[in-house]
């Protein structure tokens, strides 16, 4: 799977996904100052699923209807890098095939997935 990992998600998640064989772009490598809408457009153009902790992506994609290849919002503000990695690992083990083209939110050990219309 082609994945874009937004800043703030963490290196442990990037490393886990890369080690699992995914094609991962880490937003940290793009530098600061790139707007969310530009990142969403780039990820969509490249067919990359986005993993983020930034609620703005949900606003842009789900409420505004902008196209995307899939967005996964981690609502884990105070979590350690290891906790985020473990959550992403569990989600990918159980739901990887349903994440593409979907908007998913992980919060308090619960995952909600909404497919695009």
**Residue-wise pLDDT tens digits, 56-97:** 888 887 777 888 999 999 999 889 999 999 999 999 999 988
End-to-end CA distance of the chain: 21
What's the whole-number average pLDDT of the chain? 90
Predicted TM-score of the model (pTM): 0.91
Structural domains of the chain in order of their starting residue, each with its CATH number: 2-115 (3.40.50)
Confidence at residue 117, expressed as pLDDT on a 0 to 100 scale = 55
Other residues' Cβ atoms within 10 Å of the Cβ of residue 21: 8
Confidence of residue 30 (pLDDT cuts 50, 70, 90): confident
Residues of the chain with pLDDT > 70, as a percent, come to 97
Phi and psi angles of residue 115, each rounded to the nearest 5 degrees, phi first: -85, 155
């Amino acid at each position: 799977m082609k994945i874009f990992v937004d800043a703030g998600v963490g290196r442990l998640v990037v490393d886990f996904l890369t080690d699992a064989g995914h094609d991962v772009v880490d937003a940290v490598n793009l530098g600061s100052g790139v707007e969310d809408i530009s990142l969403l457009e780039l990820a969509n153009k490249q067919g990359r699923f986005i993993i983020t902790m930034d609620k703005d992506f949900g606003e842009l994609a789900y409420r505004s209807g902008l196209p995307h290849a899939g967005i996964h919002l981690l609502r884990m503000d105070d979590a350690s890098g290891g906790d985020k990695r473990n959550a992403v690992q569990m989600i990918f083990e159980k739901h990887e095939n349903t994440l593409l083209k979907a908007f998913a939110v992980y919060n308090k050990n619960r995952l909600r997935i909404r497919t695009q219309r």
